[in-house]
Amino acid sequence: MAGIISAVLPGSLAARLGLRPGDEVIAINGFLLRDVIDVRFYAAEEQLTLQVRRGAEELILSARRRYYEPLGLEFTSPTFDTGIRRCNNRCAFCFVSQMPRGLRRSLYIRDDDYRHSFLFGNYITLTNLTEEDWARIEEQHLSPLYISVHATDPDLRRRLLGNPQAPDIMAQLQRLAEMGIEVHTQLVLVPGLNDGPHLERSISDLAGLYPAVRSVSIVPVGLTQYHRGGCRPYTVEEMRQVWALTVSWQKHLRRRLGVSFAYLADEWYLRLGERVPPPGAYDGQELQENGVGLVRALLDNWRQTAAVLATLGTPQIWVTGDLAAPLLAGLAEEFAHQTGITVEVVPVPNRFFGTTVNVAGLLTGQDVIAHLRGRPAPETLVLPAAMFRGPQGQSLDEMRPEEIARALGWPVVCL
C-alpha cells in the first residue's frame, strides 16, 4: 500500500523534503498508510520520517515540522489499499442503481465507506464495519460521520436496506456517541413505508442521542425513469402530511434541545409552496449537500449573485430545473425591475433521468441543448453551477459549459 503523490504544495514540508508528483509514500514514522486519513493522523507529529518509493528506489526522508507548517501533499486517490468500500445493501430506492448505462464508471460505485463519510460527508449505512474499523474510528476520532438511517425500527430498516443482516442502528449510534463521535443522519422517506408513525419514532429515537447525533435530514425518495419498482414518488397531499409532522417536531425539539434538529430538504418547501425557513432555523448546520438549506443559501447570497448578473448585459436566460423555477422566476422579476435587464427563466425538463427528477443539479448538457436549440440567442445563458460537479467541471453526461456554449453558439456563464 502506498499513496501516489499528485501534487506538492510550494513552501510545504513535502517541498522542503524534495518530494515530487509520482512519488509513492509508504509509511510515516513507521506506520504503513492506508489512506489520506492515516497521512493526516501520523503526520501530525513534530518530527517526521517518511518512507518513499521513487521508481525502483526507496527513500527515507526525515525533517522537523515547523510550527503550523503543512505537510503539503495531494494524492491521486484518497484511499491507498483496496479502494473504496462498496455497499452490501439492496435499497429499492438506491439512486446509483437507477442510473442509465453509458456514464462514467465512478457514477456506478455504490459507496459505503466510512472513510469517505469522514473525508467528504458521504452518507453511509454502517452495515459493513469490522471491529478493526470501529477501533480505528475511535483511535483516530473520525468525527463527524454521516449516516443513512432511514428508520430506527430494526426490522423496518432491514426491509428498506434489503439486508436482513443489518445491525441495530440505534445500538451503533449509541456506540459512536460513547466514543465521542458526532454524526449527522438522514431519513430517505418512501411513501407508506417509513413515514407517519415510523417517522415520528425515528425522529424521537435520534433526538434521544442529541448532541452526539447533531441532525437528521428528511429527504423524499428520488426516482428516475429507470427505477425497477417497489417505490413511488410522494403526492402533494402526502408531502403536506410529512411537512406538518416534521414542523410540529421541530417546534417541540427547539423547546427541548434548543435546536430544530430535524431539517426538511428543500424539495418539501418548494413542492408545497411553503416559505423556506429563516437562516437561524438551520442552527448553523451545513447540510446543503443533502439538499437541505440550498434555497436559503441562494436567498442569503442573492445580492452578491445579482450584482454579478447585472454585469452580463441583456437579455439573459437563466436555466434551472422544474422544481426551483417558480422561486427563480420571482427573483428574476425583482432583478429585471431593479436593473432593466430582460430575463427569461427556462425550466429544462429532465429527459435523461425522467421528469420525476426535477432538480437543477441533475440536469444534463444534452437536455439543456435540446430544449434551448432554435431559440433566439440571448446575450448570456446562465447555467446552474450545480450541474458541473463532475471531474474537470463536467455534467453527469460529461459535458463542460464551453461545450454547451459551442453547441448552441451562445455565451455561457455558470453561477
Quote the pLDDT of residue 185.
98
Q: Is the pLDDT of residue 342 over 90?
A: yes
Q: Is the pLDDT of residue 106 over 90?
A: no
CATH 3.40.50 maps onto the chain at 301-414
Quote the pLDDT of residue 83.
76
Quote the pLDDT of residue 391.
87
Q: What is the DSSP string of 272-341?
A: HTPPPPPGGGGTT---GGGTSSHHHHHHHTHHHHHHHHTTS-S-EEEEE-TTTHHHHHHHHHHHHHHH--
How much is the average pLDDT of 57-68?
A: 93
Confidence class for position 313, pLDDT limits 50, 70, 90:
confident
CATH of domain 96-291: 3.80.30.10
Secondary structure (3-state) at 197: helix
Each residue of 369-396: pLDDT tens digit? Answer: 999 999 999 999 999 999 999 888 999 9
Confidence class for position 403, pLDDT limits 50, 70, 90:
very high
How much is the average pLDDT of 218-234?
A: 92
Confidence class for position 406, pLDDT limits 50, 70, 90:
very high
Q: Is the pLDDT of residue 229 over 80?
A: no
Confidence class for position 288, pLDDT limits 50, 70, 90:
very high
Q: Is the pLDDT of residue 414 over 80?
A: yes
Superfamily of chain region 3-75: PDZ domain (2.30.42.10)
Q: Is the pLDDT of residue 82 over 80?
A: no
Each residue of 234-286: pLDDT tens digit? Answer: 999 999 999 999 999 999 999 999 999 999 999 999 999 999 999 999 999 99
Q: Is the pLDDT of residue 78 over 80?
A: yes
What percent of the chain shows pLDDT beyond 90? Answer: 90
Quote the pLDDT of residue 101.
84
Q: Is the pLDDT of residue 107 over 90?
A: no
Quote the pLDDT of residue 105.
84
Each residue of 124-142: pLDDT tens digit? Answer: 999 999 999 999 999 999 9
CATH 2.30.42.10 maps onto the chain at 3-75
Between residues 85 and 20, which one has the greater pLDDT?
20
Quote the pLDDT of residue 230.
79
What percent of the chain shows pLDDT beyond 70? Answer: 100
Confidence class for position 152, pLDDT limits 50, 70, 90:
very high
Q: What is the DSSP code (8-state) at residue 52?
A: E
Strand-pair partners of 146: 184
Smallest CA-to-CA distance from 328 within 232, 415, 227 is with 415
Q: What is the DSSP code (8-state) at residue 385?
A: G
How much is the average pLDDT of 143-149?
A: 98
CATH 3.40.50 assigned to domain 301-414? The reply is: yes
CB-CB contact of 168 with 154 (8 Å): yes
Smallest CA-to-CA distance from 157 within 112, 199, 114 is with 199
CATH 3.80.30.10 maps onto the chain at 96-291
Quote the pLDDT of residue 354.
94
